[in-house]
Structure 1
């Protein structure tokens, strides 16, 4: 008997259902959801997140806070790093292979041969799983934009959250901050509260105008809540009072903003100080993550090995601030990026804080920037010295041969980060 196909085989079939990877519209999603008896109408209360940077970290912190309150939480995120299963968390646990395979089979059968993108059909599958599994909350992270994102099908979420907006995916969302903010603000729903992270003034004006039209109560950073650090502690304040909390487990100054956004969200949901403190204990892989074991760590010997998946200019600036706050030794970067990203904008701030860069191509990615092109861009951004390597392992060997105690940061793409996590076990 031929064994039933696993989730990887079904996912591969789903990739062929539409000629484009990204094609922003909700028509195909609505058709499939109707065929599945509208799971989007049967979800536990939804918290919907959009933004350019910080969505995953903020979602992880909100989830940690809710779970510390004893609630069961569904969570949907993208892209995955090592395995697709990471995208769907059912009542606190990653979906099992058996459950995922059955879920994808059902969704694929309901769609039939009709055209639909990979993200759209897998999002519909996640919504179906969430509708059929008891929980107190559903966390939905947009994949791209907001207004026409496949997750934007819930008529009345409990809360929306907009993390920092910056330039990224301009080919789909618009060339300016205002245009991109208009797409992200598409998750706002009439009368539903929205927590807003720190924003460029232009983005905030767009969000405020949309909120005013829809009667959305805004809880915006700088107006309704504030977050900072003082004496090695996180200090959060809103109209309900002041919280003096430990720093978040996730490293970097930008994680203070994400933590504040998560705490504001938890407070909007009526959660107390204990939930806020629990949120700060959240982990989220490939966000300035220190690798502590595995073949790559063994290869690095006495060198530090760090991993970050940020990939746009704002992420590059945030990463540069993180490195600046880490005294003791300068960083050596191993960088690989996709050709859909602003490589010059990403690398420019990092050139001010890193000692050198090894360029790599991302294995198995058709849209990878060749290592030679990344090296050329790094030199133009001000990196010196710059080298090319066949892969991450070769770059680690080259760096540690010259500096056995180096601080090595692998960066530039979530797809590269995922490859590293798979290879490193």
Structure 2
């Protein structure tokens, strides 16, 4: 069963214009193609970035540029807008003022584009105060990251998360660990793991020219894409790169932390942030893909990186640190706990016989397309909507006055 003819308003945890697409971006594209009208609202955030953060100016600049963009139809049935929420997340009085101003902005969008009785798809708990004020017929909470474990998250935002997870019509968990920890809080909880664009990343397996900045880098190449922030284990990467001087380590992504120790190594190459559309061309030049993430923090242990399935869809061998979300993919993914194990895993992954088993890796995610994920969750929403409508009908019938005596 597919979801069709609905208005979906998505409070995303990402910015359409400045982030490579995450799960909500992919799912909303599919729902729009299937005949639903989608309003994609760029992230309203849940904490103010630290002024001392290396990426502070970049993030604030992107946010301002996003806010200056007018609402735009980016695809048929898919409208993107950037509402503004006063970033006073830890100050209840100012936050209350902020969400009232946010409500006015969203109601103005509803009026302008004829949106009514929407399905609210909430990826940010800071949207919780809007529930009950938008004439929604259904509320879905898409819980993708254990953001409550972030440093500096205000307690009132944690309270919004708790209220939303208990009161939503449906809670969608993106990872097994999140589901195991909090699914008991809502009887309508479901695990919906990330999907992947198989055709897009399958381009990595086709012959073609490599991007210019990759051509001069010696093979073999161990590659990574994603934000280069505190969650990337630089100490591990440094030790592995020193132990494998014959391997080139290529890192794609915006640098948001000090990487000077890695930059000093001759076999580590920072090529900057790349567009989503370019990633398969870079993967074409990778001999192995890496997930060198930290696992020390509670947030890290609950993460479910979208790049895992993207890597597998390229057919390239994958080496990852060991953590719960990736363990079910062993032995097709090489797992390691220490730098020495990680280096040995890279050596094993570079063996020609491993490269020849690319079909096994692709087959692992062949049933995980975003279309499949949208149909899974869309069918569940449609069923729950029908049940909800049935309950309302029964309530109206029960409340109706009995016919007067003698009236047939």
TM over 0.5: no
Task: Give the alignment's TM-score, normalised by structure 2.
Answer: 0.38
Structure with greater Cα Rg: 2
Task: Give the alignment's TM-score, normalised by structure 1.
Answer: 0.37
